[in-house]
Amino acid sequence: MAELAIIGGTGITSLPGMEIKRKRAVHTPYGEPSGPVTYGHYCGTTVVFLPRHGYGHHIPPHQINYRANLWCLQHIGIQTVLAFAAVGSIHPDMQPGDLVFPHQLIDYTWGRPHTFFEQGSHQDQPVAHIDFTDPYCERLRKCLIDAASVTSLRVHTQGVYAATQGPRLETTAEVDRLERDGCAIVGMTGMPEAALARELELCYATCAIVANAAAGRGAPTITMDEVEANMKIGVENARTLLAELLPLI
């Protein structure tokens, strides 16, 4: 049985080199996940893979069924979730292709079903307020940092992740505000995913891949060609990291 799941983000709709064992469709009380989960062997470890945007990358960030995805992973016995996510960089040290392991986040999303503790669904239980002081699992973050330390990859071992609503990119003024708030990177999928993982008591951490400089921080406009070219490099870096990481988990 696999205990580790990898959620693939933009640029990672499969894990090339993964020896696929089987796919399993899981139906959840919250609807359908982004697709069936793929069981396989990767870098010597049994893992489960789930592409957040679907296998054809067709689900936009605000329409992802985050609850179904996390519930499905917990249901099949997963305890640890490594989430890859494309981001724009706000901090000037973070360059396209770099990997960032955020240690904190700020949620700017709205209107997304964001909790398993809906009123009425647990009528026999008191109102639940999960602790979210440190939104990412330190144990998994430490594995990421240790794995990266034996590579020559450009990584940033902390940073505040701004979760925005999308699907549009930000304005310069919005990025200025995120910077004033202390955010180093900005992406559209980090929430409610991290909070839902915590509600289910999963060990969850993010490996962010810098796809572009955020709005107003690089070229006058952000093009999808630029994002795709940078993600190719970033995804290769993520694979190098995974080869070191998986034996540690």
Q: How far is the CB of 111 from ligand HPA (least distance, A)?
A: 17
The radius of gyration computed from the CA coordinates of the chain, to the nearest angstrom, equals 17
Question: Of 48-56, 113-121, 124-132, 211-219, which part binds ligand HPA (CB under 6 A)?
Answer: 211-219
CB-CB contact of 207 with 156 (8 Å) = no
Where are any strands of DSSP class E within 178-231?
Answer: 185-187, 203-213
Q: Which is nearer to ligand HPA, 90 or 148 (CB)?
A: 90
Question: What residues form DSSP beta bridges with 7?
Answer: 50, 83
Burial of 44 (0-12, 13-18, 19+ CB in 10 A): exposed
Q: Does 188 bind ligand HPA (CB under 6 A)?
A: yes
Using Cβ positions, the residue closest to ligand HPA within the complex turns out to be 88
Q: Which is nearer to ligand HPA, 40 or 135 (CB)?
A: 135
Q: Which is nearer to ligand HPA, 90 or 200 (CB)?
A: 90
Q: Does 169 bind ligand HPA (CB under 6 A)?
A: yes
Q: Does 26 bind ligand HPA (CB under 6 A)?
A: no
Among 12, 143, 214, 241, binds ligand HPA (CB under 6 A): 214
Burial of 61 (0-12, 13-18, 19+ CB in 10 A): buried
Query: Where do the H-state alpha helices sit in 82-212?
Result: 138-149, 172-180, 193-199
Binding to ligand HPA (CB under 6 A): which residues in 105-164?
A: 164
Q: Does 83 bind ligand HPA (CB under 6 A)?
A: no
d(CA 95, CA 155): 10
d(CA 83, CA 34): 14
Among 170, 193, 199, 244, binds ligand HPA (CB under 6 A): 170
Contacts (Cβ under 8 Å, ≥6 apart) of 225:
none
Cis bond before residue 51 (omega within 30° of 0): no
Q: Does 86 bind ligand HPA (CB under 6 A)?
A: yes
Among 33, 35, 187, 234, binds ligand HPA (CB under 6 A): 187
Among 11, 40, 51, 88, binds ligand HPA (CB under 6 A): 88
Question: What residues form DSSP beta bridges with 51?
Answer: 8
Q: Does 234 bind ligand HPA (CB under 6 A)?
A: no
Q: Does 102 bind ligand HPA (CB under 6 A)?
A: no
Q: Does 242 bind ligand HPA (CB under 6 A)?
A: no
> Which residues of this protein are in contact with ligand HPA, per CB under 6 A?
86-88, 164, 169-170, 186-188, 211-212, 214
